[in-house]
Amino acid sequence: MRHVNMQGLTAPPAWAAKAKRTLDAVRAAVAADAEREFNSHWAEDAVRDLLLGLVGVKCWYCETLIVRADITVDHFRPKSEVLDVPGHLGYWWLAYEVSNYRIACKHCNSGGARYNGVREGRAKGSQFPLIGGTRARTSVDDLNSEQPLLLDPANHSDPDLLGFDSAGYARRSNTPYSSAETKRGLCRADETIRILALNDSHLVPLRSRLMREVTVLARYGDKTDIQQLIDDKVGPKAPYSSAAAMALALQRACDRPVAAPTTAATTPTPAVDPARSRVDLQGLLEHLDPDDLKAGITLTGRHEKKVHQAVLNHEGQINVLGRPWRTPTTAARAATGSNKIDGWDFWRLTIAGVEQTLAEFRATYFPPPAPA
């Protein structure tokens, strides 16, 4: 996911006038509590070509090139309903607002992505969960009061939260968790990866190969023709260019000479951040047996009379059905398909013969904060 700058993007006057007439009819239907009819003006070339001109013909979420397939214009804030928010009529007043449009592939928008032949990810569709703030329900409500859970490619800071490992898996970058994430125990990057299936079986090997190619090319980057190949792979219109850019940055960092230490002082051990333990397990790994972690600690959870299993490894990742997750809640939601599960209460592990939830294990070392 790369940042897409939409500032200054305006719809053609003729299209805007037509869209206004349709929106006026929708507004009247809402006022009369009647059925609304949305004409799909967003699919017309007049506005779609404007969006495609920003970063080329690729999905803004997963960065896959859209070749010989329908190009979907997604409403970031869904127009007609909000999944899991009863009574919400959708952000109908934004149905023809160009700033609310995102280019999406079929898998990110409607589903169909697979992992080892099994469908995964609920796709974005009409989902628009919040991690904080007050949800807008009418056209006069302040959208800035909402804190979306899903990462938004049009928000300048959101793509920086998404990183990639050397195997091509999307993951959270090293950016610290926000206060909203620690309060809710959710990682925005992990939840976006889960919902959009950004680590499906097709994407991961493509990213991994691209990152290897860029790494090799970067070793010969002083040659003009090689540098052009690199530029082609990291340019904003290239597929998976954010992963390619990360591989390039890592290789260049490795190529820099290491500065000689100025003192003989040892580097202090970084302090454990208790707030991070509200979201992931990194701060708790030292309290587990290293040999058990190396072998993998079994976690179990029960949902709707079905028992789910996962494995916690020495990096703090929770492997569910062969897929690594960095946060207990997203791992639990990936296992069960439910958007409402708290992984800290869901997963259970056994320590010294005593079975306990992850929440109980965490409370032993990081007691819950006192009520405000």
For position 112, what pLDDT does the model report? 53
For position 117, what pLDDT does the model report? 55
Instruction: In whole angstroms, give the CA distance from residue 112 to residue 106.
Output: 8
Instruction: In whole angstroms, give the CA distance from residue 285 to residue 269.
Output: 15
In 140-174, which positions are buried (b, 16+ CB within 10 angstroms) versus exposed (e)? eeeeeebbbbbbbbbeeebbbbbbbeeebbbbbee
Q: Where are the alpha helices (DSSP H) in the chain?
A: 13-31, 45-55, 106-110, 179-184, 188-196, 203-218, 224-234, 241-255, 290-295, 328-336, 343-346, 358-365
Sequential pLDDT tens for the chain (372 residues)? 999 999 989 999 999 999 999 999 999 999 999 999 999 999 999 999 999 999 999 999 999 999 877 888 999 999 999 998 999 999 999 999 999 999 999 888 876 555 555 555 568 889 999 999 999 999 999 999 999 999 999 999 999 999 999 899 999 999 999 999 999 999 999 999 999 989 988 899 999 999 999 999 998 867 888 999 999 999 999 999 999 999 999 888 887 766 656 665 555 555 557 788 899 999 999 999 999 999 999 999 999 999 999 999 999 999 998 888 999 999 999 999 899 999 999 999 999 899 999 999 999 998 776 665
For position 122, what pLDDT does the model report? 66
Instruction: In whole angstroms, give the CA distance from residue 126 to residue 74.
Output: 10
Instruction: In whole angstroms, give the CA distance from residue 38 to residue 19.
Output: 10
Q: What DSSP line would sit under 95-137, residue for residue?
A: TT-GGGEEEE-HHHHH---EETTEE----STT---EEEE----
Residue 122 tokens, joined: 């609920």
For position 344, what pLDDT does the model report? 96
Neighbours of 3 (CB within 10 A): 18
Q: Please, are residues 116 and 192 in contact by the beta-carbon 8 Å criterion?
A: no
By residue count, the chain amounts to 372
For position 345, what pLDDT does the model report? 96
Instruction: In whole angstroms, give the CA distance from residue 263 to residue 351.
Output: 42
Residue whose tokens read 């990742």: 317
Burial class of residue 128 (count of CB atoms within 10 Å of its CB; 0-12, 13-18, 19+):
buried
Total-model pTM: 0.89
Residue whose tokens read 């976690």: 299
Find all residues with CB under 8 Å of 340, minimum gap 6, and list them. 84
Instruction: In whole angstroms, give the CA distance from residue 149 to residue 158.
Output: 10
Burial class of residue 42 (count of CB atoms within 10 Å of its CB; 0-12, 13-18, 19+):
buried
- Give 64's strand partners: none
